[in-house]
Amino acid sequence: MILLERPALALLHRLDPEVAHGLSLRALQSGLAPLPGPVTSPRLETTLAGLTLPNPVGLAAGYDKNATALAPLSRAGFGFIEVGAATPRPQPGNPKPRLFRLTEDRAAINRFGFNNDGMDAIAARLATRRRGAVPVGLNLGANKDSPDRAADFARVLATCGPHVDFATVNVSSPNTERLRDLQGRAALTALLNGVMDTRAQLARPIPVFLKIAPDLTPDDLADIAETALATGIAGIIATNTTLSRDGLSSPHKAETGGLSGAPLFEKSTRTLARLSQLTGGRLPLIGVGGISTPEQAWEKICAGATAVQVYTAMVYEGLSLIPRIAKGLDALAARNGFARVSDATGTGRDRWL
């Protein structure tokens, strides 16, 4: 698998990043990408908000925005998959170019702006998927020109919720103007209450997660933790991309948009550990940001995560990174004397506080 990936990645990196992104999805859809199938073991199996995961390594939202490659992604070694973000109406997103590789920094900057086919088209694809051992969730978004963005999240959940295993409220993308304002306490409480009311009306209520930004103050984090606990959501995903540009060397470092990849690891892990402390184990957390090795995934788990998600590192390492991280977590748990990877959750949190 790795031998085939190296020339494929080299070719993709000679192309425009968004074109390469599309080609990688088409390669998956056509069966050209070799896939390892399920990766699991007694140590790797994890329970997340009532969901049984074969392993705790998930795909972050943004790669398969329109749910067009669910079947092959379910065979790529992930323990769970998140697609989207989906908005009520289709929208083209921001003008191109809007995706940049920061190769020197092992990072990326995007300013897509929730480009997607809209909830009806995405729901139709989700409805025809073959359900299996790998849970599939949807990232909920809002239309840029919506008069009521908070209501958009509930609308998408009502339409797509029957066809997914979990949903994520995404108020942390930096690429839709003033979207992050919805992370404020009053606005977030109203939004989450609306989403949870919609969830209660589903024939099969599903876990609802909240995805937050890494650029929050300690007071902001405290408010979010209290709001999350009060509204009854299932967990928090920490974190989305950052607006920070500290320490970058790539010529693309001045591009606007959200930064993901290696430079985000420390900032997102500190946010994760702080949330773990604030919630006191009452909410499961999903760690995202800068993971490219089993050791970094293990560090997120020790900082407080029940599960992790990966995306940008695949740009540089390919899909073979996913089973490598999962198997590496199994080995790290055994080496550190844990019967299950999940038993390590929060055991190293104090290193990040």
- To the question of whether residue 85 is assigned a binding role by annotation, the answer is yes
- To the question of whether residue 311 is assigned a binding role by annotation, the answer is yes
- To the question of whether residue 114 is assigned a binding role by annotation, the answer is yes
Q: Write out the catalytic residue numbers.
A: 173
- To the question of whether residue 280 is assigned a binding role by annotation, the answer is no
- To the question of whether residue 58 is assigned a binding role by annotation, the answer is no
- To the question of whether residue 94 is assigned a binding role by annotation, the answer is no
Tell me the HSE value of 260 on the side-chain side, using a 13 A CA sphere: 32
For residues 177, 199, 44 and 300, what is the CA-based torsion angle, rounded to 10 degrees?
30
CA 268/CA 275 separation, integer angstroms = 11
- To the question of whether residue 64 is assigned a binding role by annotation, the answer is yes
Using only the alpha carbons of the chain, give its radius of gyration.
18
- To the question of whether residue 241 is assigned a binding role by annotation, the answer is yes
Q: Is 88 helix (H, G, I), strand (E, B) or coil?
A: coil
Identify residue 20 by its one-letter amino acid code.
A
CA 328/CA 317 separation, integer angstroms = 15
245: exposed, middle or buried (Cβ count in 10 Å: 0-12, 13-18, 19+): middle
Give the angle 309-313-315 at the CA atoms, nearest 5°.
125
- To the question of whether residue 338 is assigned a binding role by annotation, the answer is no
Structure-token match 């020790």, residue found: 302
- To the question of whether residue 77 is assigned a binding role by annotation, the answer is no
- To the question of whether residue 61 is assigned a binding role by annotation, the answer is yes
- To the question of whether residue 175 is assigned a binding role by annotation, the answer is yes
- To the question of whether residue 316 is assigned a binding role by annotation, the answer is no
- To the question of whether residue 86 is assigned a binding role by annotation, the answer is no
* Cβ burial 249-272 (10 Å sphere, 16+ → b, else e): ebebbebebbbbbbbbbbbbbbbb
- To the question of whether residue 111 is assigned a binding role by annotation, the answer is yes
- To the question of whether residue 240 is assigned a binding role by annotation, the answer is yes
Residue positions in the annotated binding site?
61-65, 85, 110-114, 139, 170, 175, 211, 239-241, 261, 290, 311-312
Residue positions in the annotated binding site for substrate?
65, 110-114, 170, 175, 240-241
Residue positions in the annotated binding site for FMN?
61-65, 85, 139, 170, 211, 239, 261, 290, 311-312
